[in-house]
């Protein structure tokens, strides 16, 4: 599903999904499971995931580039990084869920100088802040 066909999902809806998330992955979504941001598995099929929406859609006002304040020794991509839906990169995420167990995931594409890196992270309520 392309971004053009995604519907907007509110931070409140994303929070509800996170708080209702199952505690564990199932065999279908296990290849995508990571408590921190990981590069999207090149060999994994998207068939196990379904798109739910996006926090930002093309044509919207540009979201802030401000990042969440992090504890010492934690970077944006680590498993310990908090999830703040109002800050980069979360404010530009798509939200997907496993078709089988409903575990939600955040998807974000990092654009570097010479690369494009689609990333995925499990969405659990215990990491949400703000």
Q: What is the pLDDT of residue 114?
A: 85
User: 17-67, pLDDT tens digit by residue?
Assistant: 999 999 888 999 999 988 899 998 888 888 999 999 999 887 888 888 888
DSSP string, 106-127: EEEEEE-SS-EEEEEEE--GGG
25 is written with which tokens? Answer: 């992955």
- pLDDT per residue over 119-128, tens digit each? 999 998 999 9
Tell which wins on pLDDT, 110 or 130: 110
Q: Give the phi and the psi of residue 108 in degrees, each rounded to 5.
A: -145, 140
Q: What share of the chain is helix, strand, coil (3-state, %, to 5)?
A: 20, 25, 55
107 has pLDDT over 90: yes
């Amino acid at each position: 599903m392309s971004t053009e066909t995604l519907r907007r999902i509110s931070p409140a809806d994303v929070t509800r999904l996170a708080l209702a998330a199952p505690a564990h992955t199932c065999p279908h979504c296990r290849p995508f499971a990571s408590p921190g941001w990981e590069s999207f598995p090149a060999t994994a099929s998207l068939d196990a995931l379904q798109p739910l929406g996006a926090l930002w859609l093309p044509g919207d006002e540009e979201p802030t580039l401000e990042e969440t304040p992090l504890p010492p020794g934690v970077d944006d991509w680590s498993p310990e990084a908090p999830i703040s839906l109002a800050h980069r990169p979360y404010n530009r995420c798509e939200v997907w869920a496993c078709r089988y167990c409903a575990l939600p995931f955040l998807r974000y594409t990092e654009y570097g100088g010479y690369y494009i890196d689609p990333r995925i992270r499990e969405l659990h309520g215990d990491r949400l802040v703000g």
